[in-house]
Amino acid sequence: MKQQGLLISMIMLAQTAFGQSGYDTKAKELVAKMTLEEKASLCSGRDFWSTKPIERLDIPSVFMTDGPHGLRKAVGTDFTNSVPATCFPTAAGLASSWNPALLQEMGVALGEECQANNVQFLLGPGVNMKRSPLGGRNFEYFSEDPVLAGKMAAALINGLQSQGVGASLKHFAANNQEFERLSNNSVVDERTLHEIYLPAFEIAVKEAQPWTVMCSYNKINGVYASENSLLLDSILRKQWGFKGFVVSDWGAVNDRAAGINAGLDLEMPGNGGINDKKIIDAVNSGRISMQRLDEVVTQILAQQLKTHALHKEGATYDKDKHHSLAREVSSECAVLLKNSNNILPIEKKKIALIGNFAKVPRYQGAGSSQVNPTRIANVYDALSKAASVTFAQGYTADATTDDKLIAEAQQEAKNSNVAVVVVGLPDTYESEGFDRSNMDMPEAFNRLIDAVVKVQPNVVVVLMNGSAVAMPWAGKVKGIIECWLGGQAGGEALADILTGKVNPSGKLSETFAVKLEDTPSYLEFPGRNGTTIYGEGIFIGYRYYDKKKVAPLFPFGFGLSYTTFAYSDMDISTAAASDTDKIKVSVKVKNTGKVAGKEVVQLYVQDENKTILRPEKELKHFTKVFLQPGEETTVSFELNYRDFAYYDEKVHEWQTSNGQYNILAGGSSADLPLHTSMKISASHVLYPPLTRNSLLKEFAQHPKGKAMYAKLMENMSSMFGGNSNSTEKLTPAQEDAKKKMQTMMITILNEMPVSKLVSMGGGKFTDQMLDAMLEQVQ
Ligand code: BGC
């Protein structure tokens, strides 16, 4: 795998470092030969999935299609029918593997399938944060944590693009719900946007340079994503160095000319010429400059030329091999949540497999990402090959149950040594296009589990769902496996885990709350009157549960194994460093059990300074390691500036606080046995400029304002401290009361804008005096 990784890196280097500038030059040459009409025509699709060719200039059309976990190429104009393709697990599961190397391999496979089907761009992956477990597309997104989501996306993109197929990182940005998804206004404060909702995109752009980024439908702080120059131009292109083109989500364009000026390049799908005409008119009227249009067309064209140069005519792929890879990926995604008395793996026992999903699995989500799988494996068939299995349907295809189905299930459970109940969420519960209304599984599923538990003490519940569910029965069953939407080979992967052929190694990529009322955005999701206020700010996922001390059902990063791991010997390269230094941290992890297994070593940073409100801890790095029984390895991480920094909206920049930080490591956000403390000195602390409206306390904190503050306070002491020239001797009690009064007055004054000293100073302090003072602190 390592060698393949190296090869991919080399290919990518060749494509980007040496190749990209060649495509840019070629694109520029072609743009110079185009008429205005031809340029405008390249700014939108020819139809739903392809772009327009320009035959006279030998410019070909390119084809783009969904979706993140498999190829969904529609057959002709029939949207309900797509070519067969390998359906891998969806992103919720993929992130739970915490295995970027595996995602890179999956990306390669996706690229091969795209090449075989003459597809130049695959529309994914999606890295939006899971703000609420109710988000309808949570199954398609990786995580509630930006580092995990960003790293997984970067790996997938690198794999895909190594095959000459472009990724489309989506949906940029703050697109975290389906309710009114084409129009809602996500109101997100600047710090939250930078610390939570943007970094996954940033990591993927910086580490994988996707050939396209897809802007979302929604508005962000009042401006449509498709015409948001702050996001598309200042941040994406200028700050992060994005080199590809921005494509609209399908139908996300609002004002086409505004979009061109803001940084939106390609409009999809085709608009029948309507918006192309608007571009032409805008150039003619001067609203769009020709130079800007040339930039847009060059950006689109350069990537298109690249995909064409890298197109592999007549390419094929090995369906069996890809199915096997899907099985491996799926088995790494599954998270073992409970395993009392080591009920799993099930060895040489009679198993009652209960639940319709055991034969007709839920393995992917609905909407644009829906793949037509090359085959579908179910756990009943797969497990029957390895164990003695009986089956009871338990519930109907539309998730209802009746006394007869319950009685049959109980009968099978009684006649076996262990009952495995396969439930989760039906298709109709979660989909692109609408959000869930609660966290519950269908009533029939909970009822079935309760009934089986009554007759069989050994019950394992298997979940097939795209987002967290409530588990009122969690305390009553011995085993729980979260399989997510495991793709076409999910049934086989599950059988491998149940029998112990594969040791589970997934860790939760999102927190499972006990109940919906405990979730961070409970009061604000999905908003009202066209507006969604991200009121919980930076406290989403485990950042919220940690801070509020709300115990989750299962914490972020948690997952059991059939073996055990011990952590020891945390080592740090320095106990005191500048925030610009690279700091090395290493830990030892040992497999202390009897079987081989994989462990995800997670590293979190905790700011001990308490100078600003921060999460208790934040994930910064992780690595997955494979260890034989008794084997020990050392895992190393390198910490950098951003691992300590927070986004300071007052100066619109990342900053660090001077002082103590803790570095924590372990196998779950809730179990971090190793920690060490270190001191960081901030290399550059930025302060907002001092103005008439700055508060007095801001002068006190500002290096240039301190002296002015002291002077002002001295002058004001007579106002609140009595006459300092008074010779009257105070008793100790009077002294004490005076001091308390002074402290109180300072506290009150500190909250005042300095300009109030003029308006409330009774004429003693004038505007001229204030201006003169302010001049000195600039
Ligand atoms: C979805 C995108 C998808 C596009 C094309 C949109 O409705 O939001 O994720 O890529 O359709 O199918």
Both 339 and 265 in one domain: the answer is no
* Mean confidence (pLDDT) of the chain: 95
Take atom 7 of ligand 1 and give the residue whose Cα is closest: 250
Task: Average the pLDDT over 475-479 and give the result.
Answer: 98
Report how far residue 153's alpha carbon sits from residue 159's, in angstroms, rounded to the nearest whole number.
10
Convert the pLDDT of each residue in 649-706 to its tens digit.
999 999 999 999 999 999 999 999 999 999 999 998 999 999 999 999 999 999 999 9
Please check whether residue 2 lies inside any domain of the structure. Answer: no
For residues 415 and 352, the answer to whether their CB atoms sit within 8 Å is yes
Take atom 5 of ligand 1 and give the residue whose Cα is closest: 250
Q: Which of 50, 247, 249, 370 to mutate to test the pocket of ligand 1 (most atoms within 8 A of CB)?
A: 249
Both 352 and 459 in one domain: the answer is yes
Q: Which numbered atom of ligand 1 lies nearest the CA of 124?
A: 10
For residues 468 and 131, the answer to whether their CB atoms sit within 8 Å is no
Lookup: tokens for 224: 């449509």
Please check whether residue 16 lies inside any domain of the structure. Answer: no
Report how far residue 204's alpha carbon sits from residue 664's, in angstroms, rounded to the nearest whole number.
25
The distance of Cα 102 from the centroid of its chain, to the nearest Å, equals 18
Using a 6 Å CB cutoff, which residues line ligand 1? 66, 123, 170, 249-250, 368
Above 60 in pLDDT, residue 634?
Answer: yes
Above 50 in pLDDT, residue 18?
Answer: no
Both 593 and 505 in one domain: the answer is no
Secondary structure letter of residue 510 according to DSSP: S
Both 100 and 223 in one domain: the answer is yes
pLDDT at 610: 84
Task: Average the pLDDT over 336-355 and give the result.
Answer: 95
For residues 501 and 98, the answer to whether their CB atoms sit within 8 Å is no
pLDDT at 764: 84
The length of the chain is 778
| 354 against 14, higher pLDDT | 354
Take atom 12 of ligand 1 and give the residue whose Cα is closest: 368
Both 82 and 170 in one domain: the answer is yes
Please check whether residue 55 lies inside any domain of the structure. Answer: yes
Task: Average the pLDDT over 724-728 and give the result.
Answer: 64
Please check whether residue 5 lies inside any domain of the structure. Answer: no
Please check whether residue 51 lies inside any domain of the structure. Answer: yes
Both 576 and 675 in one domain: the answer is yes
599: helix, coil or strand? strand
pLDDT at 77: 76
Lookup: tokens for 449: 């589990």
pLDDT category of residue 14 using cuts at 50, 70 and 90? low
Task: State the amino acid at position 201 in one-letter form.
Answer: F
Which of 268, 285, 309 is the last residue in one of the domains?
309
Task: Average the pLDDT over 497-523 and give the result.
Answer: 98
Above 80 in pLDDT, residue 288?
Answer: yes
Q: Which of 249, 518, 546, 648 is catalytic?
A: 249
By the 10 Å C-beta count (0-12 exposed, 13-18 middle, 19+ buried), 61 is classed as middle
Residue 368 C-alpha to ligand 1 middle, in angstroms? 6
Residue 525 C-alpha to ligand 1 middle, in angstroms? 22
Percent above pLDDT 70 for the chain: 96
Above 60 in pLDDT, residue 535?
Answer: yes
350: domain CATH number?
A: 3.40.50.1700
pLDDT at 1: 43
Please check whether residue 702 lies inside any domain of the structure. Answer: yes
Above 70 in pLDDT, residue 16?
Answer: no
Q: Which of 170, 250, 266 to mutate to test the pocket of ligand 1 (most atoms within 8 A of CB)?
A: 250
Above 60 in pLDDT, residue 494?
Answer: yes
Q: Which of 66, 169, 182, 217 to mutate to test the pocket of ligand 1 (most atoms within 8 A of CB)?
A: 66
Report how far residue 337's alpha carbon sits from residue 96's, in angstroms, rounded to the nearest whole number.
12
Report how far residue 404's alpha carbon sits from residue 381's, in angstroms, rounded to the nearest whole number.
24
Take atom 11 of ligand 1 and give the residue whose Cα is closest: 250
Query: Are β-strands 653-655 and 121-122 bridged in parallel, bridged antiparallel, or unpaired?
Result: unpaired
Q: Which numbered atom of ligand 1 lies nearest the CA of 170?
A: 9
Both 382 and 520 in one domain: the answer is yes
Both 216 and 103 in one domain: the answer is yes
Report how far residue 666's alpha carbon sits from residue 623's, in angstroms, rounded to the nearest whole number.
11
Convert the pLDDT of each residue in 64-98 to its tens digit.
999 899 999 988 877 788 999 999 999 999 999 99
Residue 249 annotated among the catalytic residues of the structure:
yes
Both 730 and 636 in one domain: the answer is no
Query: Are β-strands 646-648 and 653-655 bridged in parallel, bridged antiparallel, or unpaired?
Result: antiparallel
Convert the pLDDT of each residue in 708-720 to its tens digit.
999 988 887 665 5
Lookup: tokens for 627: 């260890």
126: helix, coil or strand? strand
Both 424 and 531 in one domain: the answer is yes
Which of 625, 646, 681 is the last residue in one of the domains?
681
Which of 287, 309, 331 is the last residue in one of the domains?
309
Take atom 2 of ligand 1 and give the residue whose Cα is closest: 249
Take atom 6 of ligand 1 and give the residue whose Cα is closest: 250
Q: What range defines the domain where residue 209 resides?
A: 35-309
pLDDT category of residue 7 using cuts at 50, 70 and 90? low
pLDDT at 729: 87
Q: Of 491, 475, 496, whose CA–CA distance to 554 is shortest? A: 475
Q: Which of 47, 69, 123 to mutate to test the pocket of ligand 1 (most atoms within 8 A of CB)?
A: 123
Task: State the amino acid at position 763 in one-letter form.
Answer: G
Residue 429 C-alpha to ligand 1 middle, in angstroms? 19
Give the range among 31-35, 113-117, 355-359, 764-768 with minimum mean pLDDT. 764-768
Neighbours of 508 (CB within 10 A): 26
Backbone angles phi and psi of 677, in degrees to 5: -110, 145
Element housing 591 (H / E): strand 583-591
Residue 673 C-alpha to ligand 1 middle, in angstroms? 43
Tell whether omega for the bond before 125 is within 30 degrees of 0, i.e. cis.
Answer: yes
pLDDT at 726: 63
Both 392 and 417 in one domain: the answer is yes
Residue 484 C-alpha to ligand 1 middle, in angstroms? 21
Residue 185 C-alpha to ligand 1 middle, in angstroms? 19
Both 210 and 323 in one domain: the answer is no
61: domain CATH number?
A: 3.20.20.300
Residue 245 C-alpha to ligand 1 middle, in angstroms? 17
Residue 211 C-alpha to ligand 1 middle, in angstroms? 17
Residue 367 C-alpha to ligand 1 middle, in angstroms? 8
Report how far residue 104's alpha carbon sits from residue 117's, in angstroms, rounded to the nearest whole number.
20
Please check whether residue 395 lies inside any domain of the structure. Answer: yes
For residues 599 and 567, the answer to whether their CB atoms sit within 8 Å is no
Task: Average the pLDDT over 320-345 and give the result.
Answer: 98
Q: Of 96, 6, 2, whose CA–CA distance to 598 is shortest? A: 96
Lookup: tokens for 89: 């697990």
> Strand runs (DSSP E) across 102-162, as ranges?
121-122
Residue 621 C-alpha to ligand 1 middle, in angstroms? 31
Take atom 8 of ligand 1 and give the residue whose Cα is closest: 249
Residue 273 C-alpha to ligand 1 middle, in angstroms? 21
Please check whether residue 1 lies inside any domain of the structure. Answer: no
How many distinct structural domains can be found in the chain? Answer: 4
